[in-house]
Amino acid sequence: MDLEALRQVPDALARARQAGEAQETVQSLSVELSRIRREAIEELLLKDGVTKASVAQQLGMTRGRVGQLVASGAPPERLFFGDGRIAVAMGAKFEAEKDNPGQVLAREDMITFTRLQSLVKSLQLDAEPELVPPPGIISLNRENLVVICGPRLSPILYQILESDPHLGFCKDEQGWYLQDKDAGKAYRSPQDSGEPGDIAYFGRLPRPDGRGYFLYMAGIHAAGPAGVIHYLENALPSLYRQVKRKRFSVLVSSTFDPASGEVLNSKLVSPVYLHDGRQS
Q: Which tens digits make up the pLDDT trace of 203-223?
A: 999 999 999 999 999 999 999
In this prediction, the residues of the chain whose per-residue pLDDT falls under 70 are 1, 93-104, 277-280
Say how far apart CA 48 and CA 214 lie, in whole Å: 35
How much is the pLDDT for 95? Answer: 58
Say how far apart CA 111 and CA 94 lie, in whole Å: 19
Amino acid found at 162: E
DSSP three-state, residue 268: strand
Distances (CA, A) of 143 to 87, 94, 100, 146, 211: 9, 28, 33, 9, 10
How much is the pLDDT for 23? Answer: 87
How much is the pLDDT for 35? Answer: 79
How much is the pLDDT for 202? Answer: 98
Return the half-sphere exposure (C-beta side, CA atoms, 13 A cut-off) of residue 114. 10
pTM: 0.80
Tens of pLDDT, residues 79-109: 999 888 899 999 876 555 545 445 667 788 8
How much is the pLDDT for 101? Answer: 45
Say how far apart CA 127 and CA 27 lie, in whole Å: 16
Phi first, then psi, for residue 244 (nearest 5°) are 45, -120
The distance between the two most distant Cα atoms of the chain, rounded to a whole number of Å, is 70
In sequence order, what E strands does 106-226 have?
A: 127-132, 145-148, 167-172, 175-180, 185-187, 197-206, 213-219
Bridge partners (DSSP) of residue 279 are 273
Distances (CA, A) of 39 to 54, 78, 90, 101: 17, 10, 31, 48
